[in-house]
Amino acid sequence: MRRPVFTARHAATLNALARRDPAAAGRRAFRWFCTPNARPFAPADDAFLGEARRWTIPHRRARIAGYTWPGGGEAVLLVHGWESNAGRWKALVPVLREAGFAVSALDAPAHGASPRRTLHPLEYAEAVAQAARIAGPLRAIIAHSMGAMATVLALAEHPEAEVEKVVLACPPASAADFASAWLARWKLSAAVGRAMRAEARRQVGRPLEQVAADRAAPSIRRPALVIHDEADEAVPLSHGERVARAWPGARFQRTSGLGHRRIFDDETVQREVLAFLGG
């Protein structure tokens, strides 16, 4: 069942509520901000995921879903983005398996077959760290979009993780930037913004400005390949550039014409990833 979708009517309600009860408006706004309109599995996803062995791992009083495809070799973990699921890896998994890798993926909390209704980046980072322990030791984590941010946060928070290399596509640099963009998109008032940021700090345990891949990256000592398309319509190219600059020794690959969602479907990108993993 698809979750309710935030609309202009909800925005108007939040603006009105903030005038009389800012704290309540902040709670509601942050809940909406963290609620994905998660896509259901397509029939092709069901067939693709049906080839994998399914497993679950505990996460905040729930269990999130994971998948491992048949095959031996060094292990690779795939981490999808916001409003996606493990079915998005249909094009990349066969390429990795043919190259001799053992491939696993997870459904983020509140996505795919994993329960919950809301998710923020540090919660996703916890899930990535837990999945890396289960699937590892890992030759690499390959991650997209919010999954890329969560991966950076996971590795910064858990330097002991057994992960040799990292591939990030379209990584958001900062949760605060996306909160500001979301507030502006829906014409939410300054009062709503202040209340939402206060609620985020209460729930997350730190200001949104500190939930940032470009702030976490300098502490990570692993080879990284950061890929970003110049026409990305969801995460601006500048975010990937910021993360790559902040990550010691990272290599930045700029692409053209792939947008946000088709990066790992491209054969040239797939060859770049295999070359990086094999190097």
For the segment 200-252, what is each residue's pLDDT rounded down to a tens digit? 999 999 999 999 999 999 999 999 999 999 999 999 999 999 999 999 999 99
C-alpha 159: how far from chain center = 19
Q: Which residues partner with 54 through β-bridges?
A: 67
The number of C-alpha atoms within 13 Å of 8 and in the hemisphere containing its C-beta is: 1
- 66 within 8 A of 107, measured Cβ to Cβ: yes
User: For residue 3, what pLDDT is reported?
Assistant: 63
* pLDDT band with cut points at 50, 70 and 90 for residue 4: confident
User: For residue 279, what pLDDT is reported?
Assistant: 59
Single out the residue of 73, 41, 66 nearest to residue 52, CA to CA: 66
Average pLDDT, the chain: 94
pLDDT digits (tens, 9 = 90+) for 168-204: 999 999 999 999 999 999 999 999 999 999 999 999 9
User: For residue 152, what pLDDT is reported?
Assistant: 98
User: For residue 59, what pLDDT is reported?
Assistant: 86
User: For residue 2, what pLDDT is reported?
Assistant: 55
Among positive and negative, which fits the CA dihedral 14, 19, 24, 29? positive
pLDDT digits (tens, 9 = 90+) for 64-86: 999 999 988 999 999 999 999 99
Phi-psi region of 9 (alpha: psi -120 to 50; beta: other; left: phi over 0): alpha
The number of C-alpha atoms within 13 Å of 155 and in the hemisphere containing its C-beta is: 30
**What sections of the chain are H helices per DSSP?**
8-20, 22-33, 43-49, 92-98, 121-135, 146-157, 175-185, 190-204, 213-216, 237-246, 267-278
User: For residue 37, what pLDDT is reported?
Assistant: 84
User: For residue 1, what pLDDT is reported?
Assistant: 45
CATH entry 3.40.50.1820 includes domain 34-174+211-278 = yes
More confident residue, 30 or 38: 30
pLDDT digits (tens, 9 = 90+) for 103-146: 999 999 999 999 989 999 999 999 999 999 989 899 999 999 99
Rounded CA-CA distance 109/148 in Å is 15
